[in-house]
Amino acid sequence: DAMVIQNPRYQVTQFGKPVTLSCSQTLNHNVMYWYQQKSSQAPKLLFHYYDKDFNNEADTPDNFQSRRPNTSFCFLDIRSPGLGDAAMYLCATSRSTPYEQYFGPGTRLTVT
Amino acid sequence: KNEVEQSPQNLTAQEGEFITINCSYSVGISALHWLQQHPGGGIVSLFMLSSGKKKHGRLIATINIQEKHSSLHITASHPRDSAVYICAVRGYGGSQGNLIFGKGTKLSVKP
């Protein structure tokens, strides 16, 4: 089945230790999104790729970076995680139109 | 005021009851999404609507563009329907792919 896969599902990292979260898709969608969702809050868009074009949200901290080496894969790098970065990180994909987004299962990040 | 408002915030129902969750929005939209999130889990897209009504199994979603309002109905509710239901709208123009999320409705269905 075509799907959005996120690895790992659970990640524990230490304060200040760089961490990378992975997303892959078999849908051949050209748009990929990264969201941060903190407890009991709505998801917050961090950035998205439209093909290879990177689009950063204005309020996304510089601590968060992303890479998209090819259509199928997208990575979220947190350079120096703080305690406030503990959250669920959701990857989503869509076609250019009609923009229906398909979400992955998420990676729950714990910062100790 | 939030651009997307959902009601109620919390809902408890008995198994078998008919459930309605409402979503109102204040911006022009190109589509509205209903999403489901189980505790500690990822998000599943239930419906994407730009007009009218859609049905999938026991779930029905309607939208009234003129009134800027959408409803999600669950018929014959079941404990496995317990989840957070999120309304999200998609705008126009350069941010067309970006979703504006409601705060969600937490549904608990008791056996």
- pLDDT of chain A, 112 residues: tens digit per residue: 669 999 999 999 999 999 999 999 999 999 999 999 998 888 899 999 999 999 998 889 999 999 999 999 999 999 999 999 999 999 999 987 667 888 998 999 999 9
* Rounded distance between C-alpha atoms, residue A99 and residue A94, angstroms: 5
- One-letter amino acid at B26 equals S
Nearest to B43 among A41, A90, A98 (CB): A90
* Rounded distance between C-alpha atoms, residue A76 and residue A64, angstroms: 7
Count of beta carbons in the 10 Å neighbourhood of residue B45:
17
Contact B43 A50 (CB under 8 A): no
Q: Is A93 on the interface with B (CB under 8 A)?
A: no
- One-letter amino acid at A97 equals T
Nearest to B44 among A42, A45, A103 (CB): A103
Contact A84, A91 (CB under 8 A): no
With beta carbons under 8 A apart, name residues in chain A contacting B35: 103
Contact B42 A106 (CB under 8 A): yes
- Closest alpha carbon within chain B to A42: B103
Model confidence at B94, in pLDDT bands (50, 70, 90)?
low
- Closest alpha carbon within chain A to B33: A100
Contact A45 B44 (CB under 8 A): no
pLDDT at A30: 92
Interface A-B: count of C-beta contacts within 8 A: 50
> Does the structure show a pLDDT above 60 at B95?
no
Q: Is A87 on the interface with B (CB under 8 A)?
A: no
- Closest alpha carbon within chain A to B89: A100
Q: Is A60 on the interface with B (CB under 8 A)?
A: no
Contact B13, B111 (CB under 8 A): no
Task: Give the helix, strand, coil percentages of chain B, each rounded to 5.
Answer: 5, 60, 35
Model confidence at B79, in pLDDT bands (50, 70, 90)?
very high
Residue with tokens 């317990």: B82
Q: Is A29 on the interface with B (CB under 8 A)?
A: no
Q: Is A103 on the interface with B (CB under 8 A)?
A: yes
Question: Of B31, B49, B53, B42, which is closest to residue B97 (Cα–Cα)?
Answer: B31
* Rounded distance between C-alpha atoms, residue A85 and residue A37, angstroms: 10
